[in-house]
Amino acid sequence: MNNNLKTFKNTFSSNSLIFSVKNWLYHITKILSDKKKIRTVVLILIFLYGISGCATIKPIHEPVEKKPLQDKTEDVGKNQDNINSRAIASLNLTTHGQMLLENGRIDESISIFERSISINPKNGKNYYYLAEAWYKKGNMRLSKEFNRLAGIYMDNNFFWINLVKKQKKKIAEKK
Amino acid sequence: MKKKPQLRLAYKLGIKIFLLCIPVCFLSLLIYSIYLSNGIESRFSGRRWQIPSKVYSDTTVLYTGQHIPKGFFSEKLKNLNYHEVEDNRQFQKGQIRTSPEAVDIFLYDFNFSFKKRVGFPVRIRLYNNKIQSIVRMDKKIFMPVLELEPEEIMQFFGTKRERRQLVSINKIPKHVLFAILAAEDKSFYSHFGIDPLGIIRATFKNIAHGRLSQGGSTITQQLSKNYFLTHKRTISRKLKEILISLIIEFMYEKDEIFEIYLNEIYLGQKGSESINGILEASFFYFGKSVTSLLLPEAAAIAGLIKAPNYYSPYVNKKRCKKRRDMVIRAMSHNGWVSENLAKKAVNYPVKPAGCTVYERKAPYFIDYLSNQLHKFYSPKDLSSLGLTIYTTLDIQVQRAAQKALKKGLNRLEKENPLFLNNKYKDKLQGAIVVLSPKTGYILAMVGGKNYGTSQFNRITDAKRQPGSAFKPFVYLAGLNKLTPATLLSNRKKTIIVNGKAWSPENFSRKYSDKVTMRVALAKSLNLPTVDLAFKTGLEKIIEKINLFEFSTEFKSFPSLSLGAFEVIPLELARAYCVFAADGVLPYPMPFKNVLDENGKIIKRRYMDIKQVISSAKAFIISSMLKSVITDGTGSLLKKKGVVFPVAGKTGTSNNYKDAWFIGYTPDILALVWIGFDKAYPINATGGTAALPIWADLIKFIPQYISGTWFKIPSKVVKKNICNLSKQVAGKNCPDYFEEFFLDTNFPKKCTVHDKYK
């Protein structure tokens, strides 16, 4: 056991890194000494160059002179930092609300989810749990509305979209 | 000798009558006492005071990474009654310490039905106007989210305008009780309602002065005086007062009487409102609860009772200190406080907390709120039941809106000196409403320039022509058949409506052949809009608009498409929420909870939503309204420093009578209206008059800006569109641009460049 640990540590120590570089150099010189292998290496290099060229080749059509109006979606996501902190704060509240909901404190949970939405309206879980809360309170109209919103915001999450679909079915049955 | 028996008879009769008189007198006194005691009991056992209902703002949520405007903490915490301290030793509830990089707050307890928070110290580190971390100092843990308690906006006062908070005698510290006893009634716990010695002393002094001035009243007498009788100084009143005092003493325990007294006494004046009760007074004078009053502070308040406005520390600190020291000496004289402590207390300076100047924080909003509340509670209930109303208002947003509007109106008046001219018998007005589009919370409402001069709420009660600000609803109706890339005619033409010729014009008087729907909306062109209205059908448009629940009755006139029908600004703002909230129409909410005086929730309001259009259509309209800002009539916004994505629409009604700007992001929506009540022209457009105000407002509240854009719904597709044919671009199309479409409605493949294939 001890021995194993030592070798493990060695492979990741700085000494072994230099050693592995030496090892690589050794392999490369070995390949270069073989003509057949040189040919394949050169072919691979040409292929790689070709691919990289594709990316920088200018499109045939020059960009339009007079730019027609369009929605520039690139604007989005500049404030990544800000978005994340909001998302985290909102999720924190969601978890708190979820706990209250599971303990049967429905009214309290609803106000927490609402607050969470006002911090981050894109947090789909809030809508899911609000649908759940209103389901428990017997208001199928609101439950359905929130379930739909949950569907909009979680359509890229396989796990959640299944839950949302199940919830939708459940609401439809009760309605 | 004969007369003697007669005399004796008379004498006997006299005695008999006298003897009869005594029980009769006693009986009548007894009956009168019972009558009085009934009155006393009904007053004491029932609702003793009219407690005004209080209105609070929403809580403020803080989280790490949040943008905080400059000066936010100093202003917010001051309004929440926190006080700056310097020394590090004693950090207590309600105190703050600020340094350039951090704010330490010792939070107050916060009781709100299910939310019970015992105050704790937190350190909020700031960097570049952003919250870097929130650390709970006692437990040394990071907090992702912190809620600051709500701010009091106003109270619903009755005719008496009394401020009062109730406190139980068990919660009042001994030294506070002793201070009051020392100042007012030293032998309260030993006398029986009146203090004969005190009365004799007072009587002598009154005789010496020749008038009734000295009271000599016990606490019980003061209570009966305050509670039941007028303030006239007559002998009969004095006798009645004594009788009532005796009855009160007979009926109630000393502690009960003292408690009522402590909650009853008048202790000063804050503007037009009176400060009543020891708890309200301790907040008013020293910014803390009665439970944490120090000895000199307690003595100062006790000293006030005699003449609150004369001895007030806000009026004259020296006078207050003199009176306070008298109370402290009396306490020490009675042995209620050690001499050492008394000496220390006497040396302690008089330091009142600083009273916050009363200002109307959101008067138009309060009017709207009371109208909503009157559906459930009468004005009398609101001024007496001591309810607590938690609203959706965000004070920071409200202040930002007021500030922005004031600045904007001043600028417009400066640019147009005519507005101040006598020719205009009206002042230029403006109004703003800010909503959280997803939840429908009303974050701010300014219904006019100056509530003092005009209480008319232009957000909730005015009906104005929206002009171009109405176009998005017309374009929405067009989306069934047309797309943002559809070409519309931009040629002048005359239409015959009901036998009359109608020839609409573009605002710029510039015309071209054809423009796309996106360009037409972005540049707010009238002719293509009319073209679109005819292509869609006016009936179809009305059908769509009615989904937005305007109270206006729309008729199928072609001018409908140019916003000729008057709408209520709040309803217009609410309708725009649909675009910002995935097609969901929210219910505008001014309040969330109403609590009774025991803190129990008696009325709740939750966000209520209703889907009226698909999220895909809402996204496409938002996308087109973004072009208004990037390339259209709202392009001034960028120059004003708003660089994050915003969707918005300007509006200018006929003859420049109204200027509008409605702008939104996924997080917040605000509507700005400018105009005269009497509809004089303001000679400015929505883009130049209303938009800069919107920009100012939004820059004041960076905490609401996430800088994100709407998520593209699954039923929206993005296509490359040939610049020439405005159809989906093929391989041979030289120019193309991107456009969003409903997945059920997009153009065919380009027939111009691909036709030879």
> B408-462: per-residue pLDDT in tens?
999 998 888 877 776 677 889 999 999 999 999 999 999 999 888 888 999 999 9
Residues B528, B481: one domain?
A: yes
Can you list the domains of chain A with their CATH numbers? 2-56 (no CATH), 81-174 (1.25.40.10)
pLDDT tier at A114, thresholds 50, 70, 90: very high
CA distance linking residue B106 with residue B111, whole number of Å:
16
Residues B21, B84: one domain?
A: no
Q: Classify residue B56: in a domain, yes or no.
A: no
Give strand pairing partners of B321.
Answer: none
- A162 CB-near residues (< 8 Å, 6+ apart): none
Q: Classify residue B236: in a domain, yes or no.
A: yes
The verdict on whether B468 is a catalytic residue reads yes
Q: Classify residue B436: in a domain, yes or no.
A: no
CATH code, domain carrying B187:
1.10.3810.10
CATH code, domain carrying B117:
3.30.2060.10
The verdict on whether B184 is a catalytic residue reads yes
Residues B39, B73: one domain?
A: no
Please say which residue of B347, B374, B400 terminates a domain: B347
Nearest CA in chain A to B440: A118
- Better-predicted residue by pLDDT, B556 or B444: B444
Whether residues B114 and A114 touch (CB distance < 8 A) is answered with: no
Instruction: Give the least confident one: A115-129, B85-99, B724-738.
Output: B85-99
Please say which residue of B347, B380, B404 terminates a domain: B347
The pairing of beta strand B110-112 with beta strand B102-106? unpaired
Give strand pairing partners of B659.
Answer: B652, B674
Scored b (16 or more CB within 10 A) or e, B67-81 reads: bbeeebbeebbeebb
CB B465 within 8 Å of CB B657 = yes
Residues B205, B308: one domain?
A: yes
pLDDT given for residue B389 in this prediction: 93
Helix (H, G, I), strand (E, B) or coil at B191: coil
Residues B35, B85: one domain?
A: no
CA distance linking residue B401 with residue B382, whole number of Å:
28
> B307-341: per-residue pLDDT in tens?
888 888 888 888 899 999 999 998 998 888 899 99
Q: Classify residue B182: in a domain, yes or no.
A: yes
Please say which residue of B143, B174, B201 terminates a domain: B143
Q: Classify residue B744: in a domain, yes or no.
A: no
Whether residues A86 and B610 touch (CB distance < 8 A) is answered with: no
Give strand pairing partners of B84.
Answer: B96
Residues of B in Cβ contact (< 8 Å) with A145: 584, 609-611
- B690 CB-near residues (< 8 Å, 6+ apart): B408, B430, B650, B651, B659, B660, B661, B672, B673, B674
Q: Classify residue B399: in a domain, yes or no.
A: no
> B355-392: per-residue pLDDT in tens?
655 567 889 999 899 889 988 888 888 888 889 999 99
pLDDT given for residue B717 in this prediction: 94
Residues B25, B86: one domain?
A: no
Instruction: Give the least confident one: B356-370, B472-486, B502-516.
Output: B356-370
A69 CA to chain B: closest CA distance, Å? 7
Nearest CA in chain A to B131: A85
Residues B191, B328: one domain?
A: yes
Confidence (pTM): 0.78
Whether residues A152 and B441 touch (CB distance < 8 A) is answered with: no
Residues B312, B168: one domain?
A: yes
Residues of B in Cβ contact (< 8 Å) with A123: none
Domain count, chain B: 4
Count of CB contacts below 8 A, A vs B? 130
> A63-96: per-residue pLDDT in tens?
334 556 776 654 444 455 556 788 889 999 999 9
Interface of B with A in 397-436 (CB under 8 A): 436
Residues B166, B266: one domain?
A: yes
Nearest to B589 by CA among B570, B576, B613: B570
Q: What backbone phi and psi angles, to 5 degrees, belong to A44? A: -60, -40
Q: Classify residue B17: in a domain, yes or no.
A: yes
Q: Classify residue B552: in a domain, yes or no.
A: yes
* Domain span holding position B93: 65-143
> B580-615: per-residue pLDDT in tens?
999 999 999 999 999 988 888 899 999 999 999 999
| CB-nearest partner of A70 from B708, B735, B739 | B739
pLDDT given for residue A72 in this prediction: 61
Whether residues A71 and B740 touch (CB distance < 8 A) is answered with: yes
Residues B128, B183: one domain?
A: no
Residues B320, B180: one domain?
A: yes
- B744 CB-near residues (< 8 Å, 6+ apart): B715
Residues B173, B219: one domain?
A: yes
Nearest to B646 by CA among B659, B661, B656, B658: B661
Cα dihedral B339/B343/B345/B346 (nearest 10): 130
Considering A30-34, B171-175, B232-236, the range whose residues carry the highest mean pLDDT is B171-175
CA distance linking residue B602 with residue B596, whole number of Å:
6
| Average pLDDT for A35-48 | 72
pLDDT given for residue A53 in this prediction: 47
The H-assigned helical ranges of B161-195 are: 174-184
